[in-house]
Amino acid sequence: MSVRNGRQFISIPGPTTVPDEVLAAMHRPPIDIRTGELVEITDGLLQDLRNLCQTTGFPNIYIANGHGAWEAALSNVLSRDDKVLVLESGSFAAGWGQAGATIGLDVEVLPGSYQKAVDPAAVEARLKADVSKDIKAVLVVQVDTASSVVNDIPAIRKAIDNAGHDALFMVDTIASLGTMPYKMDDWGVDVTVAACQKGLMMSPGLSFTISNRKAKEKHTHANLRTAYWDWTARDGEEHYHKYAGTPPVHHLFGLQKAFEMINDEKLENVILRHHLLASATRAAVSKWCEGGVLSFNIPDPSQRSNSVTTVLVNDEKALNEILNYCDEKCGVVVGIGIAALSGKALRIAHMGHINAPMLLGTLGAIEMSLQALNIPHGKGGVQAAIEYLAQNVSV
């Protein structure tokens, strides 16, 4: 017996739900890749990326996932044995650092925690200690998809400035872009890394770097550059140069539509929608936590992201039962804990193409599972989410 047959709900933190409009935009025959419409699409996308990051910088579109963009970002601005400082706050900054190590960087991790955001004071202190300016770049994620923490990017910028350090400031926005404010120029970010399959609502397969003038200047001296990732090569005259070869035709069709949807809604409204839905999620989870089995991975409410909520479950058997129940009985795929939280948490993604009924349906399935499985929890989680939204979505 199940009540799962209907549209599957996917609440994993990437790929997120791809809008029907985007899938439809991808469903057309290939077109010429050298002239005409596709060239215009590329130009439009580059401007859309700038607008999204609030920058006048230089965007690149890679056929790659986010891990590819990590490598692209580092190889374009750094040289062998350069030291980079990785600011830990979960799993992904560390992963970026490990990728850097494989291409020949000297990676130092500023120790952090899965349970809290990067401490700007610690950054400042470490950079002040780097009197010889060995550190060439500081790497951080805005949101860590594993821990669900959000880091305070302007505060970290300030820490770098306070230390009087000129390292490049490189920010991975893969799990945050389109879900919360990001102001590359105002915040003094030198290189932004992004990808398409979370807040941007696209089928995975594209990732992005955006660089400012300072990064471009560093690029001219970088010796880790390779043909596939190289910004300069991608500045070539021909359209295919922008993709170092055959362009990803259908993904460009899809991304164009996704940006059209974001632009139609307006970025500030998109971000507000994420804030409201994330807050509603937290209202529900707070209730559930009263039972003592579930708890927020990020104790400090101000450090919880608008993209995803990582919920610790202190009983692995119960955790697996919840995930199975949601999937098999209700048709809802809830995200699992990964890396250090593997087997210890579930993750509720609330980013991208998501609205109130999608979120309430997802939360409803989870609450069904808690109740059906007799897992101690505060009742009325969904009720709390409904109340939060009703109070905050103005008539």
Q: Which of residues 375-394 bind a second copy (CB under 8 A)?
A: 379-380, 382-383, 385-387, 389-391, 393-394
Using the rule CB under 8 A, which residue among 12, 122, 155, 340 binds a second copy?
12
Q: What are phi and psi of 100, to 5 degrees?
A: -60, -40
Q: How far is the CB of 359 from a second copy (least distance, A)?
A: 8
Q: Does 91 bind a second copy (CB under 8 A)?
A: no
Using the rule CB under 8 A, which residue among 9, 114, 169, 182 binds a second copy?
9
Q: Does 272 bind a second copy (CB under 8 A)?
A: yes
Q: Does 337 bind a second copy (CB under 8 A)?
A: no
Q: How far is the CB of 250 from a second copy (least distance, A)?
A: 4
Q: How far is the CB of 365 from a second copy (least distance, A)?
A: 5
Q: Does 343 bind a second copy (CB under 8 A)?
A: no
Q: How far is the CB of 106 from a second copy (least distance, A)?
A: 15
- Angstrom distance (rounded) from CA 107 to CA 135: 9
Q: How far is the CB of 131 from a second copy (least distance, A)?
A: 31
Q: How many residues does the chain have?
A: 395
Map the chain to HEC letters: CCCCCCCCEEECCCCCCCCHHHHHHHCCCCCCCCCCHHHHHHHHHHHHHHHHHCCCCEEEEEECCHHHHHHHHHHHHCCCCCEEEEECCCCHHHHHHHHHHHCCCEEEEECCECCECCCHHHHHHHHHHCCCCCEEEEEEECECCCCCEECCHHHHHHHHHHCCCCCEEEEECCCCECCECCCCCCCCCCEEEEECCCCCCCCCCEEEEEECHHHHHHHHHCCCCCCCCCHHHHCCCCHHHHHCCCCCHHHHHHHHHHHHHHHHHCHHHHHHHHHHHHHHHHHHHHHHHCCCCEEECCCCHHHECCCEEEEEECCHHHHHHHHHHHHHHHCEEEEECCHHHCCCEEEEECCCCCCHHHHHHHHHHHHHHHHHCCCCCCCCHHHHHHHHHHHHCCC
Q: Which of residues 106-165 bind a second copy (CB under 8 A)?
A: none
Residues touching a second copy, count (CB under 8 A): 108
Span near a second copy by CB under 8 A; candidates 121-129, 162-170, 208-216, 221-229: 221-229
Q: How far is the CB of 121 from a second copy (least distance, A)?
A: 31
Q: Which of residues 233-252 bind a second copy (CB under 8 A)?
A: 243-251
Q: Does 332 bind a second copy (CB under 8 A)?
A: yes
Q: Which of residues 40-79 bind a second copy (CB under 8 A)?
A: 63-68, 70-71
Nearer to a second copy, 131 or 395 (CB): 395
Span near a second copy by CB under 8 A; candidates 51-59, 135-143, 161-169, 203-211: 203-211
Q: How far is the CB of 227 from a second copy (least distance, A)?
A: 4
Nearer to a second copy, 304 or 347 (CB): 347
Write down the residue that tokens 């770098």 correspond to.
160
Q: What are phi and psi of 77, to 5 degrees?
A: -125, -5
Label residue 21 exposed, middle or buried (CB < 10 Å: 0-12, 13-18, 19+). Answer: middle
Contact letters (x/-) for a second copy, 284-303, by CB under 8 A?
A: --------------------
Nearer to a second copy, 158 or 275 (CB): 275
Nearer to a second copy, 138 or 284 (CB): 284
Q: How far is the CB of 225 from a second copy (least distance, A)?
A: 7
Q: How far is the CB of 119 from a second copy (least distance, A)?
A: 27
Q: Which of residues 302-331 bind a second copy (CB under 8 A)?
A: 321, 325, 329-331
